[in-house]
Amino acid sequence: MKTAVIGAGIQGTSIALELASRGIEVDLFDLEDQPLNGSSRHTEGKIHLGYVYANDPCMATADLMISGAKVFTPLLRRWVGPDFDQVPVSEHFEYVIHKDSILSAEALNAAYREIDRRIQGTDNWNYLGQRTLQQAVTLPEREWKNRYGSTVAAVYRTDERAVDPHALADLLVKAIANEPRIRFLAGAKVNSIDRDERSLRTLDQHGSKLIYGPYDHVVNCAWAGRLAIDSTLGIKPTEPWNFRMKYFLRLGASAPVAFQSATIVLGPFGDVVRYGESTYLSWYPAGRRGWTSDIEPPQWPQPPSEEIASQIQEGIIAGLSTVILGANKVKPSNCEVAGGVIYALGSTEVDDPESTLHKRSSTGPITMDGWYHSVDTGKYTTAPLFALQTADRISPL
């Protein structure tokens, strides 16, 4: 059996590695020269337990994140080997409730209690090495008032964590290179799928058109390019969608502040993540630069121009400084600006409590005619879970 996987991010490489482990030959296509150069490298890497999705009242998003988080470590460890244990992991996240949160502190508290109930009701955890997970607890004000400003209403300590996405990306690149059943086709942009031939039409970097196939199965994991490829088979989402470009700052060992990992909720705020020696800083109003509901986003620059980069640096530091004391000590010159594309269903922004950006449960693989699979990764957290589900559709164990 021969399978084509389009897109070598965390989703495509996970599927390729799982299929290869089941004895299947895989052609893995990417328009870039190297795997893992898209959003799966330029991400925050939080392995969600659901707290960010407190505004999904039916808890379907939290349930999906918990299912994804539960299998993340065992599956990646199987695919990349014991080196997975060396990937830097952040310490626990604090959830910092902003006074302008779109959900009240009471509503967030009720949601966190329910999410905790679901986490505690899940057994056999191996969450980035942790076998048991603590519930979210409210911190007394004396424990945080020297760290957060007057814009903060309350702070919760959670057991949620993030992995350093650069380190994990490097391990996935190595695993792909070491797997003889996977052939990586670099610089190959897939433009369309031929339904009758089950073949792919690609364009290389010199403008040459090539046809690959036929394949028994084709899996589309192209994230920013996924809808455009699906549309050549007449597949389109049934609800409005959007692509956003989100930039953030990455600091190396020179960070002037030993930041506590924190997510500021709920609305257009930001995150701080400290993994090993690197730190990730984001402030949504400054970092969210592009929005489109076109079938394919434009080539948003990555990294951005110097002028835009300096606006982003100043905006993120200024925004975070309204919440985190000491964030203004970060010097723009020490920060690398990077960014990635986010795809989600929804037509309004995160400051709208009704926005479907607060619900991410309609993600995962869809299958057409038994051979074409299109995978909406949804979140980094859920990629390994969806890889397993997709592989089961192709070659059940």
Ligand X SMILES: Cc1cc2nc3c(=O)[nH]c(=O)nc-3n(C[C@H](O)[C@H](O)[C@H](O)COP(=O)(O)OP(=O)(O)OC[C@H]3O[C@@H](n4cnc5c(N)ncnc54)[C@H](O)[C@@H]3O)c2cc1C
The footprint of ligand X (CB under 6 A) covers 6-12, 29-32, 37-40, 42-46, 48, 189-190, 221-225, 229, 246, 248, 340, 342, 377, 379-381, 383
Q: In this complex, which beta carbon is closest to ligand X, that of residue 99 or of residue 183?
A: 183
Q: Give the shortest CB-41-to-ligand X separation in angstroms.
A: 7
Q: In this complex, which beta carbon is closest to ligand X, that of residue 71 or of residue 105?
A: 71
Cα torsion at 335, 338, 344, 347 (round to 10°)?
Answer: 70
User: Which of the 8 DSSP states describes residue 144?
Assistant: H
Q: In this complex, which beta carbon is closest to ligand X, that of residue 246 or of residue 358?
A: 246
Q: In this complex, which beta carbon is closest to ligand X, that of residue 154 or of residue 168?
A: 168
Q: Give the shortest CB-114-to-ligand X separation in angstroms.
A: 20
List the one residue out of 338, 343, 350, 385 whose CA is nearest residue 365.
Answer: 385
Q: In this complex, which beta carbon is closest to ligand X, that of residue 111 or of residue 338?
A: 338
Q: Give the shortest CB-148-to-ligand X separation in angstroms.
A: 21
Is 13:29 a contact under the CB 8 Å cutoff?
no
End-to-end CA distance of the chain: 15
Q: Give the shortest CB-28-to-ligand X separation in angstroms.
A: 9
Q: Give the shortest CB-34-to-ligand X separation in angstroms.
A: 9
Residues 6+ apart with CB under 8 A from 283: 269, 270, 315, 316, 317, 318, 319, 320
Q: In this complex, which beta carbon is closest to ligand X, that of residue 228 or of residue 325?
A: 228
Give the 3-state secondary structure of residue 143. Answer: helix
* CA–CA separation, 306 and 287 (whole Å): 14
Q: In this complex, which beta carbon is closest to ligand X, that of residue 43 or of residue 101?
A: 43
Q: Give the shortest CB-95-to-ligand X separation in angstroms.
A: 14
Q: In this complex, which beta carbon is closest to ligand X, that of residue 23 or of residue 394?
A: 394
* CA–CA separation, 304 and 355 (whole Å): 28
**DSSP labels, 312-373:** HHHHHHHHHHTTBTTGGG--GGGEEEEEEEEEEE-SS-TTSTT-GGG---S-EEEEETTTEE
List the one residue out of 60, 51, 15, 49 whose CA is nearest residue 35.
Answer: 15
Q: What are phi and psi of 6, to 5 degrees?
A: -105, 120
Burial class (CB in 10 A: 0-12, 13-18, 19+), 86: exposed
Is 287:339 a contact under the CB 8 Å cutoff?
yes
Q: Give the shortest CB-296-to-ligand X separation in angstroms.
A: 8
Q: Give the shortest CB-331-to-ligand X separation in angstroms.
A: 21
